């Protein structure tokens, strides 16, 4: 037991050395209004951890919740977290303590980043605490006290003042480190829901969709640093296909391909009770066929995505209206009668639990097309809204495919798996 304080001291000093090296290596250009600090850079997967957010006299504006993410090394996925405030900050306080639960699937070193303050970063190690406990146990077990010397309780061992200073909890001061080499956020992300579903009738078919978006100018690139608003430009792509599983040759009945160029603005709510994002741009939709089966349209669109939090568990109501005007519809000149000029998306639920959503379109002649989706997670999400979900979908009315935009379909029910909802 005599070596136990040395083990703890060695690991504390190693953490202090790492913190010091990181704080010295932060480039001046990364200075921000807020900083992240922690007296304990080691965390345990699946358990609660705490950090201190440091600002400049923002006591009146400290939010109760802060969106954040974990950035994994080597370009791994970004995992969404929400930091929850602890207690009430004193008047004029320049810092506030927050907590969150570290994801079970993340081990090793990761970088905690505030979503609204990307330069507020903190390096945390999800393996150090386990290694420290194992090392301490092993060294304590290998230390045998001589028979003539009675074992002394560790609490009565004399500890030099220098050791006490090193072992004592560090004060959450602004100089505590941030990550020296920020991991740039991935330019490639999810755009619309992705799923694979089977069912329907006349014929039995599979309906699947995959989608992504790519940010054209990175935040740390020359263009975005010179013209900051350029970082909101995106290229998007979505493919939706209907695969006939009943006919002999199993053909694809139709596929629609939707490339788009758009600009996206994200508006922040300091109280974290909701969020709003606005986007607008150009979209082309085609089924990639020639002559008579050919269908295509070109549109200019605007879209809003609003969320309102309903409770502290994370349940929210989402509203996503989209409106467009046609630039070209030569292959299907009457499509506005069936598809109209707008659609409304609604959803209610939690990102980590049951989610219900609906999409409604109404043509200028009153023709309706409605889609309903109900999903529930079947394995732990990698990050918010993404994982694996059992998915039930129902579609009724006009416009299930671009080819059959003017055909009224009976209710089609399908079940399967979704990766993004």
Indicate which CATH number applies to the domain containing 326.
2.40.230.10
In this model, does residue 166 exceed pLDDT 60? no
pLDDT band at 58 (very low <50, low <70, confident <90, very high): low
- The answer to whether residue 176 is domain-embedded is no
Over residues 10-33, the pLDDT tens digits come to 555 555 454 444 444 433 333 346
What is the pLDDT, as a whole number, of residue 180? Answer: 34
Rounded Cα gap, residues 359 and 356, in angstroms:
11
What is the pLDDT, as a whole number, of residue 106? Answer: 80
More confident residue, 336 or 56: 336
Same domain, 195 and 161: no
Total structural domains within the chain: 2
Over residues 194-212, the pLDDT tens digits come to 999 999 988 999 999 999 9
Same domain, 254 and 387: yes
Same domain, 133 and 255: no
Same domain, 131 and 215: no
Same domain, 49 and 196: no
In this structure, of 37-51, 116-130, 277-291, 340-354, the range with the lowest mean pLDDT score is: 116-130
CATH code at position 28: 2.60.40.10
- The answer to whether residue 397 is domain-embedded is yes
- As a whole number of Å, the end-to-end CA separation of the chain is 54
pLDDT band at 173 (very low <50, low <70, confident <90, very high): very low
What residue numbers bound the domain in which 268 lies? 188-420
Same domain, 352 and 205: yes
Per the prediction, the chain carries an average pLDDT of 78
Average pLDDT over residues 59-88: 79
Rounded Cα gap, residues 262 and 154, in angstroms:
64
Residue 53's alpha-carbon distances to 99, 112, 175, 182, in angstroms, are 10, 12, 12, 18
What is the pLDDT, as a whole number, of residue 386? Answer: 64
What is the pLDDT, as a whole number, of residue 47? Answer: 84
Confirm if 212 and 236 have CB atoms less than 8 A apart.
Answer: yes
Rounded Cα gap, residues 196 and 164, in angstroms:
59
In this structure, of 293-297, 354-358, 370-374, the range with the lowest mean pLDDT score is: 293-297
What is the pLDDT, as a whole number, of residue 120? Answer: 86
Highest mean pLDDT among 1-10, 145-154, 334-343: 334-343
Q: What is the pTM of this model?
A: 0.59
Same domain, 289 and 214: yes
């Amino acid at each position: 037991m005599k070596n136990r304080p040395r083990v703890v001291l060695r690991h504390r000093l190693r953490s202090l050395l790492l913190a010091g090296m990181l704080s010295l290596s932060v480039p001046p250009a990364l200075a921000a209004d807020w900083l992240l600090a922690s007296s304990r850079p080691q965390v345990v997967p699946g358990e609660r951890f705490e950090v201190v957010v440091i600002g400049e006299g923002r006591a009146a504006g400290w939010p109760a919740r802060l969106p954040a993410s974990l950035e994994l090394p080597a370009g791994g996925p970004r995992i969404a977290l929400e930091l929850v405030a602890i207690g009430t900050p004193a008047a004029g306080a320049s810092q506030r303590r927050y907590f969150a639960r570290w994801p079970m699937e993340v081990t090793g070193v990761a970088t905690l980043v505030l979503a609204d303050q990307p330069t507020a970063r903190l390096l945390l190690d999800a393996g150090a605490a386990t290694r420290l406990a194992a090392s301490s146990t092993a060294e304590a077990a290998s230390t045998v006290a001589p028979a003539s010397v009675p074992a002394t309780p560790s609490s009565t061992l004399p500890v030099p003042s220098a050791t006490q200073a090193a072992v004592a909890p560090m004060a959450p001061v602004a100089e505590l480190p941030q990550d020296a080499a920020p991991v740039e956020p991935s330019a490639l992300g999810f755009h619309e829901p992705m799923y694979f579903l089977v069912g329907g009738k006349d014929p039995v078919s599979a309906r699947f969709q995959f989608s992504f978006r790519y940010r054209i100018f990175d935040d740390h690139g020359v263009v975005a640093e010179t013209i900051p608003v350029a970082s909101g430009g995106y290229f998007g792509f979505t493919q939706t296909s209907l695969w006939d599983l009943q006919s002999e040759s199993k053909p694809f009945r139709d596929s629609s391909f939707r490339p788009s160029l758009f600009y996206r603005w994200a508006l922040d709510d300091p109280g974290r009770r909701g969020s709003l994002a606005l986007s607008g741009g150009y979209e082309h939709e085609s089924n990639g066929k020639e002559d008579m089966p050919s269908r295509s349209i070109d549109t200019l669109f605007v879209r809003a995505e609003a969320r309102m939090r309903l409770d502290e568990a994370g349940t929210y109501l989402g509203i996503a209206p989209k409106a467009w005007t046609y630039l070209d519809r030569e292959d299907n000149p009457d499509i506005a009668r069936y598809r109209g000029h707008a659609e409304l998306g609604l959803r209610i639920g939690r990102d980590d639990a049951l989610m219900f959503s609906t999409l409604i379109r109404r043509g200028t002649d009153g023709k309706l097309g409605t889609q309903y989706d109900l999903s529930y997670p079947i394995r732990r999400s990698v990050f918010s809204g993404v994982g694996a979900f059992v998915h039930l979908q129902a579609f009724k009315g006009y416009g299930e495919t671009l080819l059959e935009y003017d055909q009224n379909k009976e209710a089609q029910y399908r079940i399967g798996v979704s990766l993004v909802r």
